[in-house]
Each structure stands twice: as structure tokens, then as C-alpha cells.
Amino acid sequence: MKIWIEDIKDYEGQEITLKAWLYNKRSSGKLHFLQLRDGTAEIQAVVFKGNVSDEVFELADKISQESTIEVTGVVKKHDRSKIGYEIDAKDVKVLFDSVDYPITPKEHGNHFLMEHRHLWLRSLRQKAILTVRHRIIKSIRDFFDSKKFHLVDAPIFTPNACEGTTNLFETTYFDDKAYLTQSGQLYMEAAAMALGKVYCFGPTFRAEKSKTRRHLTEFWMVEPEVAFFNLQDDMDLAEEMVEYIVQQVLQHNRSELELLERDISKLENVKRPFPRISYDEAIEILHKKGNDTPWGEDFGGDEETLISQEFDRPVMIHRYPRDVKAFYMKQDPENPKLALCVDMIAPEGYGEIIGGGQREEDIQKLREKMKEQGLDESIFDWYMDLRKYGSCEHAGFGLGIERTVSWLCGLHHVRETIPFPRLMDRIKP
């Protein structure tokens, strides 16, 4: 039977055979300590000269980093190791050699590591990040399942822009052209009219020309959309979801967070209610802190960081000026200059993790806004149908997975949050 290292505790005292990679090694006299990993966990195999043949002892001394090996030995309790056990080796075989593995235990520059991303993924740090990413995605799915949302898949090829026309990836589509989707939202609006509570989860694409630590050209987004929901309901949902994700990661990924040296106390604060401030209040905070962003402008990374410093948990900024936001956002009935939208800003300077709000359900207002933004209504005819046939109040939001991973793991740059990052200057490996 196949034995994985993560299940090693079930085999205490037994002789077993493991297949694994050698990620590190040290020797002292009659002992070789082989550090093994099989993707599920790590364990040390101790090769004692007195327990193995001379050939095996010599071989164990020569195995190179990332060689694939097979170790047979007895599972022993070992309190000082992370997994609590070690293998007392009786036999060691090399199944596949690994000559001159490029990523050694010494420090490497970022460019070098990115060029070797396919190998870099094997490092314990990258494994920890991908484990947290997996947990975040699972928590999101569990959260929406428990609330009886339907998962609805949005298309990747689209005929129209959703988030502005400046960062669209265009592609040929037979004799026509198409764009890679920037957001599944418009399709979720249609799906919400069919199923009530829906969400999509998939890759989205933006030709972001900015090389910031928060932007990828391909990123994953979860986008819930709910019929008969207003801005208030939307903020409640976003807050509950983010609290749930953080609590799940704290519950299941302590060891990963510790390996990443994440300050866990900062994440423990992430409990509802989250502060909610208006755009006007956010501008006031900025001006008090010496940032002179004029009323009417959208916020960038610097502004978000300044605002986040005021709070010990995520903050929701609502009601931005309508002119800086997407065409589909509902006009605030109490102030026509504002949109009923919300951005959630992560604490500690990790930036905007959620964008969303209530949608314009009035076909006339929607038309005017599209005209103003130079959008061709004929391409959106299907979308307009949603307002023609039983329009209703509805709202939703999008959470960026990579920004969330970067925040929870405490990473400086989103490039480490996704297995194979796509950046302005990188599409390989």
C-alpha cells in the first residue's frame, strides 16, 4: 500500500518503505541525516553506519538535492522533529538522480526564482503559501455552499468589457474579435435572476500596465451576486465571508503561518463588525494625514495604505463618486454624485481585496451612464434585457484570491500567491 509521510503516525514501530525527494542532508561521522519530502509532509531518515551495508552508507553520503529516493526503515517517535517521528533507515535506493539542482539552500534573487518557478514551488515556503491558498478557496466554497448559493460558471471569452476598456486583452475569435473576461459579474447578474443567490469562481484577465506588488494580469476572483439585495446586505455578506475565511485559515493553517513568520495576532483581530466609512470620511482621513487627494478621485495603493493604518481589521469604504466607478453601479438616490458601491481594504497595507456594490436596475439611468462612458449599447443588448424583463434590486462583489493570500500569508508581492504568476513582463514558465 502507498504510504504518505503525512500518515506516518499510523506506522509507529513498523518497517515501511517511502518514496520521496531529498531536500536537504547533513552528516556527522557514522550518521547521515536525510531530509525527505513527498509533497504531503517532511520527515528525517537516519542512516546509521551500523544498520546498513557499506554500499548504502556510502550512497547516502552522495545523494544529491532533489533526487528521488526510496527509503526502507522503521518508524520511530522523535519528539524534536516537526512531524514527531523519524525513520531509522535499513535500506536506501536512488530511483532518479537530480544533478546540480539550481535552487540550493542559499539565498537566490527574485528574478532567478521566478525563472525557476516550476522548481521553486517545491520549497517549503511555497508549499505553505499554496496550502493557505487552497484553504482560502475551500472556505469560500464552503461558505457559499452553507448559504445555499449556486456555483455558476462564467465564460472566459466575452464580447464586451465589464471593468473599463483600457485593460482588455483582445484575441481573435474566428473572423471576429473577443476579449478575455475581466469579471464574471454581468453573467452573474443574469444568473441571479435565474437562481437567486449565485457566485462564480474563475480566472479573470486584465492588461494592467502597472508593475505594482498587487497586480497580476491573470488572477482568480470569486464573485457572488444576489437578487433583492441592497448595498447594506452586500456589505454584511462580504464581511461575514472574510471573517469566515480568516478564521478557517487560523484554525487549519497555524503551522504554515508560523513557517511564513506571519504575525498571527494581527489576523486574530479580524472579527465582525468591520468599520464602515464613506468615501467622504476616507477623504477626511487622507487630508488629516497630509495626503491631498482631491474629492472625486479614485484611491490608489498609497491612499489605501494610509486609510488601512487607522484600523486593526479590514475597512469598508462605501459610496465613491459615481464618475470614477463602473457603468453598472447604482446611483445613490440621496446624492446623485455618488454610487452605491463598496471597496474592502485589507489591514496592514495589503490594499483593496473586494470591490462591489448595488447594481443600477433602472434601464434609463443605465443607458445614460453607458453613453457617458462611451460604451456601445448594442453589444450589451443581452444585459439590458435583464432590466427589461423583471428588473430588481440586486448587488454583489468580487474578492481577489491573490490579494487575500498575500494578506493572510503576509507576503510582500502577489507573485508568490499563485502557482504560475502572469505579470506584465512574465508569461513563462
Query: Does 221 interact with ligand 4AD (rule: CB under 6 A)?
Result: yes
Is residue 216 within the footprint of ligand 4AD (CB under 6 A)?
A: yes
Burial of 219 (0-12, 13-18, 19+ CB in 10 A): buried
The footprint of ligand 4AD on residues 399-418 (CB under 6 A) is 400, 402-403, 414
Nearer to ligand 4AD, 321 or 356 (CB): 356
What is d(CA 410, CA 350) in angstroms, rounded to the nearest whole number? 8
Phi, psi of 352, rounded to the nearest 5 degrees: -70, 125
User: According to CB under 6 A, which one of 6, 208, 310, 361 is a site residue for ligand 4AD?
Assistant: 208
What b-and-e string marks burial along 363-384, b requiring 16 or more CB atoms within 10 Å of the CB?
A: eeebbebbeeeebeeeebeebb
Residue given cell 437567486 in the structure block: 196
Only one of the segments 95-103, 258-266, 294-302, 397-405 lies at the binding site for ligand 4AD (rule: CB under 6 A); that segment is: 397-405
In sequence order, the β-bridge partners of residue 28 are 31
The least distance separating Mg ion from the CB of residue 314, rounded to whole angstroms, comes to: 14
For residue 352, the minimal CB distance to ligand 4AD (Å) is: 4
d(CA 93, CA 325): 62
> Would you say 314 or 355 has its CB closer to Mg ion?
355
φ/ψ region of 261 (left if φ > 0, alpha if ψ in -120 to 50, else beta) reads: left
Cα 412 → chain centroid: 13
The nearest distance, CB 134 to Mg ion, in angstroms, is 25
Name the nearest CA neighbour of 18 among 62, 102, 83, 103: 83
Size of the site for ligand 4AD (CB under 6 A): 23
- Closest distance between ligand 4AD and the C-beta of residue 347, in Å? 14
Q: How far is the CB of 38 from ligand 4AD (least distance, A)?
A: 32
Site stretch for Mg ion (CB under 5 A), options 228-236, 247-255, 308-316, 355-363: 355-363
* E-state strands within 4-141: 15-28, 31-37, 42-48, 68-77, 85-96
219 binds ligand 4AD (CB under 6 A): yes
CB of 352 to Mg ion, least distance (A): 5
- Residue 241 touching ligand 4AD (CB under 6 A): no
**Nearest approach, Cβ of residue 221 and ligand 4AD (Å):** 5
Q: How far is the CB of 104 from ligand 4AD (least distance, A)?
A: 31
Q: For Mg ion, which is the closer residue by CB, 206 or 369? A: 206
Integer Cα distance of 105 and 372 in angstroms: 56
Choose among ligand 4AD, Mg ion, none what residue 73 binds, the Cβ cut-off being 5 to 8 Å by kind.
none
Cβ count near 214 (within 10 Å): 20
Tell me which stretch binds ligand 4AD (CB under 6 A): 34-42, 215-223, 238-246, 371-379.
215-223
231 binds ligand 4AD (CB under 6 A): no
Q: Is 210 exposed, middle or buried (0-12, 13-18, 19+ CB in 10 A)?
A: exposed
* Sheet strands side by side (includes 394-400): 150-151, 197-205, 218-227, 394-400, 351-358, 341-346, 315-318, 276-278
- Under the binding rule (CB under 5 A), the answer on residue 355 touching Mg ion is yes
* C-beta of 398 vs 421, nearer to Mg ion: 398
- 202 vs 275 by CB, closer to ligand 4AD: 202
CB contact at 8 A, 138 and 252? no
Backbone torsion region of residue 39, taken as left when φ is above 0, otherwise alpha when ψ lies between -120 and 50, otherwise beta: left
Q: Least distance in Å: CB of 166 to ligand 4AD? A: 12
SS3 242: helix
Of 229, 232, 156, 231, nearest to 193 by C-alpha is 229
The least distance separating Mg ion from the CB of residue 326, rounded to whole angstroms, comes to 9
Residues 133-172 vs ligand 4AD: string with x where CB under 6 A? -----------------------------xx---------
Are 352 and 304 within 8 A, CB to CB? Answer: yes
Residue whose CB is less far from ligand 4AD, 347 or 396: 396
Q: Among the candidate windows 6-14, 62-70, 347-355, 382-390, which touches ligand 4AD by CB under 6 A? A: 347-355
The one of ligand 4AD, Mg ion, none whose footprint includes residue 222, by CB under 5 to 8 A per kind, is: none
- Enter the DSSP assignment of 422: -
Quick check: helix, strand or coil at residue 167?
coil
Residues that bind ligand 4AD (CB under 6 A): 162-163, 183, 185, 206, 208, 215-216, 219, 221, 223, 352-356, 396-398, 400, 402-403, 414
Residues that bind Mg ion (CB under 5 A): 355
